[in-house]
Amino acid sequence: MCIRDRYYTKYDCSAADINPIGGISKMDLKGFLRWATEQQGWEACRDIVEATPTAELRPMTDEDGKPLEVQQTDEADMGMTYEELSVFGAMRSYQRCGPVSMFHKLVQQWGPVGKHPNGYECTPAEVAKKVKHFFRMYAINRHKMTTLTPSYHAENYSPDDNRFDLRQFLYPAGWEWQYNRIDELVAKMEGLTSNL
């Protein structure tokens, strides 16, 4: 908001004229930092990769300045891991998946024939819960992505908006038809597996 006498707050906490890493997913950035540590010997990058992602909105030290355990993490606040978010975002963005098509693909990827990014197998009900949660969060937060600082886009998938993204930015958070269809598919899949 431009008040007077050159006072200007640009996009609140995303304020910058250019954001060189804003268009890179967290997992790709972590991969680069691991590479920089292992291949280039940039040891300072190791601390960044191994740090627990947090917005640091709660105190990190006590009154005496002693470090506290991390009380808030990005992943707990989001209700999903960054690995999951990268998969969801890539499927939504460049595979153009909606809730139902994403559910179909992830049941295959994270089910009996594949593995979740964190190494475990997900049931159809678990996949459904994760997909519904992602799309609910996406729907209620999508409008915020329309004001981010322009970023350099080095890959097809980006968590950032860009000028070629002409999708709507207001979505219904309930996704009623899609969620009902996912529930039907879960019931059908679980019925098939219980009959085996």
Q: Which pLDDT value is given to residue 183?
A: 96
| 186 CB-side CA count, 13 A | 20
What is the Cα–Cα distance from 106 to 125, expressed in whole angstroms? Answer: 11
Q: Which pLDDT value is given to residue 25?
A: 79
Q: Which pLDDT value is given to residue 33?
A: 92
Q: Which pLDDT value is given to residue 114?
A: 74
Positions in the chain short of pLDDT 70: 1-19, 22, 56-59, 145-168, 193-196
Q: Which pLDDT value is given to residue 115?
A: 76
pTM of the model: 0.73
What is the Cα–Cα distance from 79 to 113, expressed in whole angstroms? Answer: 25
